[in-house]
Structure 1
Amino acid sequence: MRGLTGVSAIASGVLGVSLNPYMPYNFLVELDGLITGGFMEVSGLECDITLESYEEGGQNDYVHQFPTRITYPNLVLSKGLTDVWTLWNWFDEARQGMIRRRNGTIMLLDHQRLPVRWWNFNDAYPVKWAGPQFNSSAQEVAVERIELVHRGITMPLESKTLANDRKEFNQSLAVSESVVNLGGRVIRNY
């Protein structure tokens, strides 16, 4: 074993953790406690700290940078168009001035479809809806997009501690499945 492959194998075997990145196609979206699923893409899961520069007199080596506020771009959720009108109805209500804020969660799943990390967004409401683009020669799924403004993204403590819990579980599993060789006789502990 050489390089990162060897390090990854050692970490998996000894520490019970995977250094392989999770795949971004395996995710769920939840709005107000309901798994809405079926989303093809989520973008805008980011935040920036806006800085204010201050040039101190007599200090020519650098400029002080002070954090002022955190900004969040809009979340854009894309999904295949179906007979479920939830997103359109939510947008239509907002279009008519009936703003209904919703909280939501974006969950990243592992290969077994179990949550490995998630991010919550707060007080979101739709500000843009886009329907499918029609093309008679295309053979793709018709997609609708909804753009949400929100009041911040957080990673809950449970999401952060889940990685540690998974590591401990994998370590205990590795110990319980250890192979013991007793004079040519192999014994497995389960």
Structure 2
Amino acid sequence: MDVFTAFHFVISIDNHVYGFKKVSGIARDIETHQYQEGGCNDYVHIFPKPVSSCKTLSLEKGVSQSGFFPFYFIGEHIESLTLEVRDRKNVLVKKYMFHHLIVTKWEVQELNATDNGLLIDQFELQYEEFTVVDISK
């Protein structure tokens, strides 16, 4: 079984491809409610609760001179975002689709005169849903 690397990925929005340094917040979970049934002391019942909040996708990219970038507009609605993970031979190995996103935060990473790091933009986007696309077909 092959294990995939986590450093070769691209993000696309409306057929425009963007490069990022880091992506996090790809998660799916559910809250549960526990119910103790009377007379049943060996276990509790577990039921799913309705979804109560959106998930947050965090992205980081180097700042460049390029003009338009959709994440600079706080509150901007993005219909869908695609994240593709590729292997060392540039073959698609994993694909995630995020739907109904809103840009909720844009921050410039800390500036430090004693560090020789890159200037980094950090973005947070809340999303309603995401799917893992079956690429085996």
Deviation at 1:55, TM superposition (A): 1.0
Q: Secondary structure at the match of 1:23?
A: coil
In 2, Cα distance between equivalents of 1:104 and 1:88: 12
Please, what is the CA RMSD of the aligned residues?
Answer: 1.7
In 2, Cα distance between equivalents of 1:144 and 1:102: 22
In 1, Cα distance between equivalents of 2:33 and 2:12: 35
The reply on whether 1:140 has 2:122 as its aligned counterpart is no
Identity %: 25
Q: Is the 8 A contact 1:55 1:64 kept in 2?
A: yes
Q: Is the 8 A contact 2:71 2:103 kept in 1?
A: no
Larger radius of gyration: 1
The reply on whether 1:53 has 2:34 as its aligned counterpart is yes
Determine which structure has the larger strand proportion and give its number.
2
In 2, Cα distance between equivalents of 1:63 and 1:48: 20
Higher relative contact order (CA 8 A, sep 6+): 2
Deviation at 1:24, TM superposition (A): 0.6
TM-score relative to the length of structure 1: 0.66
Q: Is the 8 A contact 2:56 2:127 kept in 1?
A: yes
Deviation at 1:148, TM superposition (A): 0.2
Q: How does 1:50-89 map to 2 (within 5 A)?
A: 50-70=31-51, 72-84=54-66, 85-89=68-72
TM-score relative to the length of structure 2: 0.89
Deviations 1:80-126 (A, max 9, x none): 011234045433xx2xxxx4333101111111122111110001110
Deviations 1:149-186 (A, max 9, x none): 111110123x3x25xxxxxxxxxxxxxxxxxxxxxxxx
Determine which structure has the larger helix proportion and give its number.
1
Deviations 1:35-89 (A, max 9, x none): 112x000000001111111111101111101112355520001000112340454
In 1, Cα distance between equivalents of 2:71 and 2:44: 48
Q: Is the 8 A contact 1:87 1:146 kept in 2?
A: no
The residue number in structure 2 matching 1:26 is 8
Residue ranges of structure 1 left out of the alignment (5+ in a row): 1-18, 163-190
The reply on whether 1:90 has 2:67 as its aligned counterpart is no
Residue ranges of structure 2 left out of the alignment (5+ in a row): none
Range with greater deviation from structure 2 (122-131 or 68-77): 68-77
Structure 1 segments, 4+ long, off by >6 Å, are none
